[in-house]
Amino acid sequence: MGDSKKTKILNAAIKVFAEKGYQYATIAEIAREAGISTGLVYSYFENKLDLLLSLNLRFFQMVNVINQKKLAQIADPVAKLFALFRTYHEILLHDKKSLYWGTIIREGFPQPHLVKSKKLKQKQSKIYEENKQLLKTIDDIVAEGQRRGKIDTTLKPQLLRQIFGGTSQILFNGLFLQYYRQEKIGYDREDIPKAMTALLEKFITR
């Protein structure tokens, strides 16, 4: 029962953060969305920052677990790279509500000085480790592809990772604005995998 209520709170938080923006969202609104009392939210989470950290941690853990299973079955670095970015598509493009995750990523990590309690500092440390693992996975795949002559060696792996990841995030942010803020961006869900495939292929050597 406890786990069920915690999940309900987190699901409500991601929706309210996405629709209101983290800065303007309140615990009361999150509790109302979850269909529980405000006091019950505080029995699971210290504050709004705790909710944001918890969602960040949940996202990176989910991505890393999926990638670990996928990559263990793939030998070719190019295939690994495509599989890795498909993970984002599978998570964020599953349905319109899945795009809520994009707003959590866009919020980024809170400034260290804002994280004061021991519990939240430990949670933030776990997020850093999960993110570090994800970045290393991408860098290692790109580096392997470069060593094997399958990926362009003009740019360092870290720069290519920034190009791929940054482009992906911008595309998802635009899609969120179109769906939830009614802003026309000129592309839809189906276009993002195509765009990322086209971008990745620019750096693949034949």
Q: Please indicate, yes or no, whether residues 88 and 143 belong to a single structural domain of this protein.
A: yes
The average pLDDT across 84-104 equals 85
> Do 143 and 195 fall within a single domain?
yes
Residue 131 — very low, low, confident or very high, per pLDDT cuts 50/70/90? very high
β-partners of residue 151 are 204
User: Cα–Cα distance between 195 and 102 in angstroms, integer?
Assistant: 17
Residue 67: give the domain boundaries.
Answer: 47-201
Distance between CA 120 and CA 123 in Å, rounded? Answer: 5
pLDDT of residue 95: 78
- Residues 27, 114, single domain; the answer is no
Taking CA 108 as the corner, what is the angle to CA 20 and CA 118, rounded to the nearest 5 degrees?
A: 100
- CATH number of the domain enclosing 141: 1.10.357.10
Do both 74 and 58 map to the same domain? yes
Structure tokens at 48: 């709004």
Same domain, 105 and 84: yes
Confidence (pLDDT) at 2: 47
Shared-domain flag, residues 100 and 177: yes
Q: Are residues 35 and 88 in the same domain?
A: no
pLDDT digits (tens, 9 = 90+) for 49-90: 999 999 999 999 999 999 999 999 999 999 999 999 999 888
Q: How far apart are CA 168 and CA 68, in angstroms?
A: 20
Quickly list H helices, the chain. Answer: 2-20, 27-34, 38-44, 48-71, 77-92, 100-107, 118-147, 157-180, 191-201
pLDDT-derived band at 111, boundaries 50, 70, 90: confident
Average pLDDT of the residues of the chain = 91
